[in-house]
Structure 1
Amino acid sequence: MDRPADRGDGHHVRRPAHHRTGGHPVRTGESALSPWPWDQAAYPVLADGGHDRVTALLPDGTTWELDADEFAEVVAADLTRHPLPERAPIVLAVPSAGDRYLDLPRKLAERTGRTVWVHTGLAQRNPDPAATSTIGVLHRDGLPDGTWLPVRPGLAPDPDDDAPAWHREVLTQPIVSSHTGEQIGRSFHHPAELVGPRETYGDLDRMSFYVHWDAATNAYSGKLPMRDPGPADKAYRLAGHGLPGGLSLPLADGSDRAVDKHEAAGWLRRRKSLSSLPKDHWVDLVICHSGAPAQGAAQDVAQLSGPLPVPFTADPLGDDALSLGQHLANQLRRTTRLSYSSQGVNRFGDGPMRVLATDAQGRPWWWETSHPEPDDAELDRLAAQVEPGVTPSPRTRAEVLRAVRALKAVMGPDVVLDAAFPDLVAGAVAVAGMWAADPDLGRTGPLWPQSLSQVVAAHPLAHGATDPAVTRQVLAEAARAWRDSGNTLPVSGFVALPGLRTAADWLSDPAAVDGAAVQALGLTDPADAPAHRTRMFWARVRAEETLLGPAADALTVRALRLDPDTAPDDAGRAAA
């Protein structure tokens, strides 16, 4: 490690690009202006090393390996002996010092109180002997070139952090805006993956459009506006590979570690670039399947609310059904943007854009927003509003949380921001209570999204159609009726639901229901079938509604594989 005795005259340092060929750097680019301020002489440090160490060259020609803490102390001591103006930055030309968690520059910035400029690629002393006062940035075939970024005090890792050992092995990189030059997020990729379309990660803060991509035809849609859940300059971009309910993290040994949503949250909570941001900043998950529940992304007919399939679990309102994006929103207490399917970035004629894959049939998926769900204290306050004087308990919290999730499924994720949200929760809790109190429907299982939508649609205020205004009115009526009854009114005393009775009667034969579950869901262990009875009930309801609808005969012909010109009779409809 060394620093020039002449620290410069306050002007910028030039940094020509070089290409490493056959082990020898060859100049390939023109000099570029340095990004750090020119009004103060910088303190340059040029040394060999890596993301967590510096190799110091001693006067006798030997070397000394310094870890990040030792290195910070050496530089701080030198600055004490040779003071510089307070605003003078440190320029760290150590290969890969800007990689991983930025331990070197962050500890150095914290120890010295100065901004440290560091490069995420291979920046080192200019290999050209004729070049003086310059730093060379080396290009390596098949690897990203990287960029400079400033690291300021306040982001040093906690000294008592008890993170699992594997956290240190994750290959992760800061995302630096090509517009502002500041860190705007973090990626996790094997280095070679960052060459190509992912080089546009630096433009994520300016991507205001996206396209749908059909993998079957390799065709792209026209560009569509990207609607952010918050200001673009308050987004933290997290980019990498995802799995339904988790992440796939690349490790230093070349392998990948699949982590569930709990491990993912523990890893992300420790990222100072995120935890240091104000609470009004949100997280943009540039991660495939970040909206899919951990149990898979197959189609569940009972949960279809339109022509597109959505991921399913045995209980859509249970904790196991939470997507990675919702779990991160809960744990980080920040809004997240996520996708059910695959997503990415790519370059197009008019600039880089986000890409969202369609399903296997070419139908477009959508972006989703997840806001933090109420924490325990908020759930207790909501429970007290629903039933004044209630003693908070795990049971009351679970009931209110289930009502919250049902509301979100029916009214959309932004319902939690509604000024009338507590009143809406009270109505949903009332519907859940009525449902449980009903002698027939109570045995169909706990509150589901369909429970709310069926009750709203059946109420006289709905007139056969539902919209947000009607839903609010019906839920207000439900809360009032439940309260006036002393919390005893069955749902059949609030609205008439004759269409559900046949499906409810079907549950009286558990063997038949379980057999249908094994067959329909492809369960390998029949012992798992009872957990799916509520799901099968709602699937039966949906099937019966369809068979009573205007397209019933056409569906019967398709289901029984009859000739298209066949007119089904009652026996055929029953078989379907």
Structure 2
Amino acid sequence: MVLVSPNAGAGGLDLPRRAAARAGRTLWSHSGEVGMKPDPDTGRHHIQVTDNLDLEVAATGEWIGSKPGDLGPADGRTGTGEGVLETADGRTLKDEEIRNFTLTDGGWPVGRAVLSGADQMERESYLRALIRSTEWNSYDPVTGKAVGPPRPVPWKGLKPYFYIGHGLPGQTVMVEDEPERGAVVRGPETGGFLRRRASVARLDRKTPIVFLSCWGSEREGNNAVPELWSRTFVPDPLGVLSAAQGVSNVTRREVYAPNRMHTTVEKGGRLLHHGITTTPVNDPVDMEKLRPEPTPDELDALAGQAGLETSSDFTPAMARDTALRLVRALRITFGVDVENDKDDPAGTYRRLLRGIGALEVMRRGDENLRGYGELTLDLLDRVTRAHHGLTTVPGTRAVSPDPADVRTMLEAAAARRPAARSPRPPHPPYPHLPHPPHRPLHGPRCATSSPCPPWTGPAF
């Protein structure tokens, strides 16, 4: 069947999907201006699409197919007005108030875009080429040219669901429909918006989401609107989410996303290539893979595997929160694939988890360190350097330790883990770890008048 009605296929496809479900047949609708027009020669009417792109007033749109089963079961469907998002400034938006449109391949839906009318019109000609692309590039922000050869997209060979929109570290820019304006939401809100889509709900559980949004996998930092080419400043990467991680957590799917600005290069409406813009010093960039973070029950089990029960400091809630930080630290250091053998008690992941858990238990058992918050990546870095005797030449930029060095340090820590819980647990000594000077708990870590004392680290 063909539904000849202007913009019937625009937005969320609710009307054509309902019609297809009622009729029990595939239905085609158009997302732009379409109607029955008379032929001046024969007087007979025919279907005609208005080419708005040539007129530069709106996107032309396309024909989109809807199958009878696309609407999904009634008991799992979100009713009109039931789906809502909370914006970063505390407002509430209904799903129906978000300006969005369907991404297609061969006329069939493969994802969703949230863009303004002007952005849609500008990008319409190459969106299909973008979702079909099998390579991406790294771009130099100074020269504007690609750096090195193209790399294969990590979702190559899969059939993912695509999301395209604008974003900031930890945030997604939604577009309100009337009046058209941007609305900033955080990752879990975007995840809820997608999870409520019938097209996402009916996907196989292993189908990933490709989240093509600037800063998609970058965590929210202190500079909410970073300079175009700057590094983001995230004081505690273990305590905050990226937008893509929020989407992954809520949809319970793997997500692929760029860790900096996503860039397209086109000419005459044709996509030449796309990728990620790096920094002027050529910091590494990547299309990162993210997995859902553990559920509360899973965190309880991970806390036990990490050996956190050997410290009397932890309440169940505290142990759960700490276990999440340990999981994030291992993912950031080794990548999410480090968890591939997490169900094997003798596997690599369990050894690393026991090691980082032991490190945190020892830190909490030290009278001079336990009052300084939670385990951080800075501590992990510093202990690794001390364990291996790594130094940095004065006046040069420090390089993060190799993950292999972190691995051997954690294995050494696991070998020293406390074995039993006690009211004031003993801990392996830190013979070479200088105690910080006494200062108020919430004061600065290092006096501004003198450098921090050197940290030679624990003798594992």
TM bucket normalised to smaller: 0.7 to 0.9
Aligned twin of 2:234: 313
Whole-angstrom CA distance in 1 between matches of 2:447 and 2:192: 40
Flag the structure with higher helix content.
Answer: 1
Aligned twin of 1:433: 361
Whole-angstrom CA distance in 1 between matches of 2:36 and 2:365: 76
The higher-RCO structure (CA 8 Å, 6+ apart) is 2
Report the Cα offset of residue 401 of structure 1: 0.7
Aligned twin of 1:136: 48
Aligned twin of 1:112: 23
Partner AA of 1:433 in structure 2? V
Structure 1 segment 207-356 matched on structure 2, within 5 A? 207-217=133-143, 219-222=144-147, 224-252=149-177, 253-297=179-223, 310-318=231-239, 321-347=240-266, 351-356=271-276
Partner AA of 1:102 in structure 2? L
Name the SS for the 1:378 alignment partner. Answer: helix
Q: Indicate if the aligned counterparts of 1:407 and 1:449 stay in contact, CA closer than 8 A.
A: no
Aligned twin of 2:439: 508
Whole-angstrom CA distance in 2 between matches of 1:428 and 1:388: 10
2:376 matched to 1:445? Answer: no
Partner AA of 1:118 in structure 2? S
Deviations 1:201-235 (A, max 9, x none): 11233212233344554x22156434434344422
Structure 1 segment 405-484 matched on structure 2, within 5 A? 405-419=328-342, 420=347, 421-459=349-387, 462=388, 467-469=402-404, 471-484=406-419
CA 1:215/1:383 → structure 2, altered by over 3 Å: closer, same or farther? closer
Deviations 1:105-126 (A, max 9, x none): 1111222221111222222223
CA 1:99/1:259 → structure 2, altered by over 3 Å: closer, same or farther? same
TM-score (norm 2): 0.78
Aligned twin of 1:167: 95
Whole-angstrom CA distance in 2 between matches of 1:413 and 1:149: 36
Deviations 1:435-480 (A, max 9, x none): 1111233333321123233334444xx5759655554444344234
Report the Cα offset of residue 489 of structure 1: 4.6
Deviations 1:34-89 (A, max 9, x none): xxxxxxxxxxxxxxxxxxxxxxxxxxxxxxxxxxxxxxxxxxxxxxxxxxxxxxxx
CA 1:247/1:451 → structure 2, altered by over 3 Å: closer, same or farther? same
Name the SS for the 1:94 alignment partner. Answer: coil
2:306 matched to 1:395? Answer: no
Aligned twin of 2:395: none
Whole-angstrom CA distance in 2 between matches of 1:388 and 1:357: 41
The answer for unaligned runs of 5 or more in structure 1 is: 1-89, 301-307, 520-536, 546-576
Partner AA of 2:96 in structure 1? R
Partner AA of 1:490 in structure 2? H
Whole-angstrom CA distance in 2 between matches of 1:406 and 1:388: 16
Q: Indicate if the aligned counterparts of 1:210 and 1:355 stay in contact, CA closer than 8 A.
A: yes
Larger C-alpha radius of gyration, 1 or 2? 1
Report the Cα offset of residue 136 of structure 1: 1.1
Deviations 1:143-193 (A, max 9, x none): 22222221112332726461235321211010112xx43222111112221
CA 1:508/1:247 → structure 2, altered by over 3 Å: closer, same or farther? same
Residue 153 of structure 1: which of 61, 68, 71 is its match? 68
Whole-angstrom CA distance in 1 between matches of 2:325 and 2:109: 38
Aligned twin of 2:394: none
Report the Cα offset of residue 373 of structure 1: 1.3
CA 1:107/1:206 → structure 2, altered by over 3 Å: closer, same or farther? same
* Cα RMSD after superposing both structures: 3.6
Q: Percent of counterpart pairs with the same letter?
A: 27
Deviations 1:292-346 (A, max 9, x none): 333344899xxxxxxx97533342211xx21111111111111212223221323
Q: Indicate if the aligned counterparts of 1:119 and 1:146 stay in contact, CA closer than 8 A.
A: yes
Aligned length: 415
CA 1:418/1:156 → structure 2, altered by over 3 Å: closer, same or farther? same
Report the Cα offset of residue 279 of structure 1: 1.6
Partner AA of 1:155 in structure 2? D
TM-score (norm 1): 0.64
Report the Cα offset of residue 425 of structure 1: 1.7
